[in-house]
Amino acid sequence: MTPPVLEDVDLIRAKSTRSGSRYDVTARCPDITRSFFYEIDGDVIPPEVERQDFVALALVFLAMRRHWDLHIDGRVSRQLLINLDELMAAWHMWMPAAYTPIRITASEEVDDVATADRSAVCAFSGGVDATFALIRHWQASGRSHCPLVAAVLVHGFDIHVEQQAGFAMARQNAEAMVGAIGVPLAVVRTNWRQAVSEDWEQDFGAGLAACLSLFSSVASIGLLGSDEDYAHFVLPWGSNPITNHLLSSGSFRLITEGGGFTRTQKVAEISKVPAVAERLRVCWQGPQTGRNCGVCEKCMRTKLNFLAVGGEIPLGLGEAPSVKDILGILARNKVQVSYLVDIAEHARRTGVSKGTRAALQVTLLKNRAINLARSSKRLKRWVRRIALASAGSKPT
């Protein structure tokens, strides 16, 4: 039975078409028609998907943010729709001013169920989290192991869809990394971030899940590398172990890999596969997209991860940091401070030079003080707003 559609002005009507290895999505929104696409190439080109689950995943955050109901002209997993109801409830609790639960309907809701198959595609950017997830299942055995069908590199997320030269470098790097361990590479090119995303830090997980779900005809699991470990993950954040699994359908599950490991522990495992480690790409803010700048906070911090585990700094990250470089690291938030704590603790145990350890302690103290000052300023602003609001509400 076809679910009823709300005949309301605030409604997105979306459908997709496929031509070759390309999907085109047309979303007729109350403000403007938004069109976006997904092109797949590389070593693994999956058959056409049987359901339009990726359309629901691609549009759910936009619909929540704009308070628009969503109707998909096509078949959608009933279990995915159930999961998205719970996902919307969570995001509304975290950010009630930004996200409102909306109604999602489809022309046909399909009952799909999980199987014992654990074949997986792994989201792969070439960074520490994604590389660790890939290596873990390449090396693993036992009940948690997922045989890898492909690593999936997305063009249009951290590298703009129109930046061809920068992405060509990133792709060449990724091909060498996955080629070293015998995993096929698939590439998804999409303008979703430019056409649909309105708050990248909050909706990128759903955008990535949409890309992985395009491979649901060749795999049963989509692997997402965890951004932080369980002791330090922050909310709200677009990819997190609380809501990532709610981006799953009945037959294609999203699994977050690596939450039980700190970033330094992940680097320790990556360093055991030098052919992969030497091509890590962690940088997003350098002048040349597609490669590491070697001087930003993230590049410096990743170099220190390698030093802390007694490994060689990959050539792709540049020269070893000097004491001055370490002292100049500026952590923008408490999560980055926790990364420095993790590095300092490992450095004490692995015999890193006294000079490096001392510089780490000084930069850690500095960044704790800076972040404490930031928190204090935010608290003062919050108290001031409350006081002004209270004063304004008093009767005259």
> What are the pLDDT digits (tens) for 242-258?
999 999 999 999 999 99
Contact predicate 342/304, CB 8 Å? no
Contact predicate 126/280, CB 8 Å? yes
pLDDT at residue 385 greater than cutoff 80: no
Residue 383's contacts (CB-CB under 8 Å, 6 or more residues apart) are none
Say what the pLDDT of residue 351 is.
83
Contact predicate 134/122, CB 8 Å? yes
Q: 21-25, 278-282, 384-388: lowest mean pLDDT where? A: 384-388
Tokens 């759910």 belong to residue: 60
Residue 368's alpha-carbon distances to 155, 204, 333, in angstroms, are: 36, 29, 9
250/272 Cα distance (integer angstroms): 36
pLDDT-derived band at 393 (thresholds 50, 70, 90) equals: low
Strand order in the sheet with 120-123: 104-110, 69-77, 11-19, 22-28, 33-42, 185-190, 148-155, 120-123, 221-225, 253-257
Contact predicate 317/293, CB 8 Å? no
Q: Which amino acid is at 133?
A: A
DSSP collapsed to 3 states, the chain: CCCCCCCCCCEEEEEEEEECCEEEEEEECCCCEEEEEEEEEECCCCCCCCCCHHHHHHHHHHHHHHCCEEEEEEEEEHHHHHHHHHHHHHHHHHCCCCCCCCCEEEEEEECCCCCCCCCEEEECCCCHHHHHHHHHHHHCCCCCCCCEEEEEEEECCCCCCCCHHHHHHHHHHHHHHHHHCCCCEEEEEECHHHHCCCCHHHHHHHHHHHHHHCCCCCCCEEEEECCCCCCCCCCCCCCCCCCHHHHCCCCCEEEEECCCCCHHHHHHHHCCCHHHHCCCCCCCCCCCCCCCCCCCHHHHHHHHHHHHCCCCCCHHHCCCCCHHHHHCCCCCCHHHHHHHHHHHHHHHHHCCCHHHHHHHHHHHHHHHHHHHHHHHHHHHHHHHHHHHHHHHHCCC
pLDDT at residue 1 greater than cutoff 90: no
Q: What is the mean pLDDT of the chain?
A: 93
Say what the pLDDT of residue 206 is.
98
Task: Tell me the pTM.
Answer: 0.91
pLDDT-derived band at 4 (thresholds 50, 70, 90) equals: very low
201-236: per-residue pLDDT in tens? Answer: 999 999 999 999 999 999 999 999 999 999 988 899
Residue 184's contacts (CB-CB under 8 Å, 6 or more residues apart) are 42, 43, 44, 149, 150, 151, 178
Phi, psi (degrees; rounded to nearest 5) at 343: -65, -45
Provide the residue ranges of all domains of the chain, joining segments of one domain with +.
11-103, 120-257, 282-377
Choose among 150, 151, 144: nearest CA to 127: 151
Contact predicate 70/14, CB 8 Å? yes
pLDDT at residue 183 greater than cutoff 50: yes
Radius of gyration of the chain (CA): 22
Say what the pLDDT of residue 286 is.
60
pLDDT-derived band at 380 (thresholds 50, 70, 90) equals: confident
Instruction: Give CA 155 to chain center in angstroms.
Output: 13
In the chain, pLDDT over 70 holds for what percent of residues?
A: 95
321-337: per-residue pLDDT in tens? Answer: 999 999 999 998 888 99
Q: 150-164, 238-252, 334-348: lowest mean pLDDT where? A: 334-348
pLDDT at residue 396 greater than cutoff 60: no
Q: Does domain 120-257 have CATH number 3.40.50?
A: yes
Determine the length of the chain.
396
Choose among 47, 215, 51, 84: nearest CA to 146: 215
pLDDT-derived band at 76 (thresholds 50, 70, 90) equals: very high
The stretch 189-205 carries a mean pLDDT of 98
229/227 Cα distance (integer angstroms): 7
